A and B are shown apart, each in its own frame.
Chain A
Amino acid sequence: MDISWYLALSAILFTIGVLGVLLRRNAIVILMSIEIMLNAVNLTLVTLSQSMGDVTGQVLVFFSMSVAAAEAAIGLAIIIALFRRKLTLDVTQIHLFKY
């Protein structure tokens, strides 16, 4: 099966995720771009698992989704805690270690 289309799509999605992390200033949108990147990687894993006939790739996607869920929860909790102090979601305004 010709899997290069799926791999190209995964690369495009990963690039869009990286652009989102680098270009957006809203912390929640940055977390959402990280989710796009994780989904692109999961798509690559499932594609290669299908093409090699090995189910291990899909087990790894299962674990990756669990870790992504835990990371999203913790990231949002950190954003809430940060928001209570700084009252802003703009990551350019959060520079506590400014020299």
Chain B
Amino acid sequence: MVAQYLFFLLAIVAVAAALGTLLARNPVNSALWLILNLFCIAGLYLTLNAQFIAVVQVLVYAGAIMVLFLFVIMLLNLAALPPLRLIDVRRGLAFILVMGLLAEMAYIVAMAADVLPEPLPETTVQTGSAVEIAKVLFTRYALPLEMVGVLLLVATIGAVMYAKRRFV
């Protein structure tokens, strides 16, 4: 039951964060909403028993890609920064409570309509652990793995080339 409520909470916060990314006026606010969205999706991966992918999502997406976005926003934003606003505790608390309430309402509606997402049976094969992924990744998909390595090298060289002062 907790797992099902957790799905609704994570889903509603993920949608709210995506809408926040879309509607925010400041690109820094968009980036912060997107970080919240990525953490919610990582939580959804955990409810789907994909532990390895959840950790990789937090490390790579929320940890590296969003930091890269924030660096670029910081470097390119020539407009004067808006004055520093005090953190509004009431708005933050209201946001958390309303999201929890929305998730509870969605859970009750789903329970009444008998369409709850069923929890995983305990005897399923652990298809999300790093061992299971490694078994397939290093044997059957070894060639795509090496190609992804080459792709990342090419991307690094390309990014450095594009960002240089003189186009060499």
Binding site for B on A (CB under 8 A): 1-3, 5-6, 9, 12-13, 16-17, 19-20, 23-24, 26, 28-29, 31-33, 35-36, 39, 42-43, 46-47, 49-50, 53-56, 58-59, 61-63, 65-74, 76-81, 83, 87, 89
Contacts and interface: CB of A to CB of B under 8 A. Distances in A.
B21 A80 contact: no
Nearest to A17: B18
Contacts, number: 173
Interface of B: 7, 11, 14-15, 18-19, 21-22, 27, 30-31, 34, 37-38, 41, 44-45, 48-50, 52-53, 56-57, 60-61, 64-65, 68-69, 72-73, 75-76, 78, 110, 115-120, 124-125, 127-128, 132-133, 135-137, 141, 144, 148, 151-152, 154-156, 158-163
Contact of B76 (A19, A61, A80): A80
Contacts of A1: 117-120
A70 B52 CA distance: 20
A36 B116 CA distance: 26
Given A59-B137, A59-B141, A72-B65, A29 B30 contact: yes
Taking chain A's interface residues, is the majority helix, strand, or loop, or is none over half, making it mixed? helix
14 contacts: A5-B110, A6-B44, A28-B30, A31-B69, A35-B61, A43-B44, A49-B50, A54-B127, A55-B133, A59-B136, A69-B65, A70-B152, A72-B68, A81-B162
B27 A29 contact: yes
A81 B160 CA distance: 11
